[in-house]
Amino acid sequence: MYGLGLFKGLGVTMKNLVSPSRQFNIVQYPNRRASPFDLAKVDNQNPVSFIATHPLKTLRSLLGLETITDRMPQHANFRGEEFAWYDRRCTGCASCAKYCPLGIIKIVTGTSGVNQQEGQSYDIDVFDIDIGRCMFCGLCVEACPYDALHMGSGFEEGKYRRSDLVINIDQLKSAEKKPSTWFRPQLTSRGHDPIKGSTADWEEVGRHEKPSLEDQSERWAKR
């Protein structure tokens, strides 16, 4: 019948209003109202002892005044903004800069320094990533032959100026290393999950086992 769809639509929205189950689909970000059970979970207590020990907090949470930070479940392969870069793995080959479709990685190298695995390497003076223009395609990570550059896991990098969005070498060095497992199957096989907060040291992120000293001396000394 002509025009029946209008009333069907009204029925759908009315169902949204009256059925409580629809409201549970809403996810609040960055924080949401917490029940006493949520607070107990955050505090690592069981609910009964939490209510007994924190009566004021319980009351506040029942009034809807307590909030907790809660994240949506997120995959470990997420390509995030906080790039994980290991200066001890990087040789300064600038593959990432060459492969970047937008040309937003800037590398300036000098001639000194010793790489742990492969011998000589460049000394890296400048390593800027302009994440304000980055599209997070991850080609730089794919291009890295030494597994020195990894995608990060976070996304809350809002800044007030565009210039603040350029990550320089000091920030990259001092950042907490939570590499995403995207394009890094070795991290997945080791059970690394940056979303759960596990960090990875420079020795753990490579594709291969670290060569022993004998291997190294055999490979390089007999040439």
Partner 1 sequence: MAPTPALFISFESLQIFFAGLIELIGFGESFKWLATLLAGISISFLIINVMVMATAFYTWFERRMIARFQVRRGPNRNGPFGMLQPFADVLKLIMKEDTIPDEADKPVFTLAPIALLAPTLMIMIVIPFGTFLPEDAFLSNLNIGILFIVGVTSVNSIAIFMAGWASRNKYAILGSMRGAAMLISYEIPMALGITSVLILSGSLAMTEIVSSQSVWFILVMPMGFFVFMAASTAEMSRTPFDQIEAESELGSGYNTEYSGIKFAVLFLAEFMAPLVTAAVVTTLFLGGSQGFDFLPGGIWFALKMFIIIFVLLWFRSTWPRLRIDQIMGFAWKTLFGLGLFNIFLVALEFSLADQFGGLASDSVSLTPEYMLIIGAINWIITIAIILIMANVVGRKKYTRPEPTPSPLANMGIKES
User: What residue ranges bind partner 1 (CB under 8 A)?
Assistant: 1-4, 6, 9-10, 12-14, 16-17, 22-23, 25-26, 28
Q: What are the DSSP calls for 184-217, one per residue?
A: -HHHHHTT--GGGT----TTTSSSSPPPPHHHHH
Rounded-to-integer distance, Cα 107 and Cα 92, Å: 8
Number of H helices, E strands in the chain: 10, 9
10 versus 48: smaller Cβ distance to partner 1: 10
- Closest separation between CB of residue 37 and partner 1, Å? 21
11 sits in which H/E element? helix 4-18
Nearer to partner 1, 3 or 101 (CB): 3
To the nearest whole angstrom, how small is the minimum distance from the Cβ of residue 20 to partner 1? Answer: 11
Q: Name the minimum Å distance from CB 74 to partner 1.
A: 21
To the nearest whole angstrom, how small is the minimum distance from the Cβ of residue 17 to partner 1? Answer: 5
Minimum distance from residue 148 beta carbon to partner 1 (Å): 42
- Gap between the Cα atoms of 124 and 146, Å rounded: 15
Q: Which amino acid is residue 54, in one-letter code?
A: H
Beta carbon nearer to partner 1, 12 or 72: 12
Write the CB contacts of 25 (distance below 8 Å, at least 6 apart in sequence): none
Which CB sits closer to partner 1, 28 or 189? 28
CB nearer partner 1, residue 33 or residue 133: 33
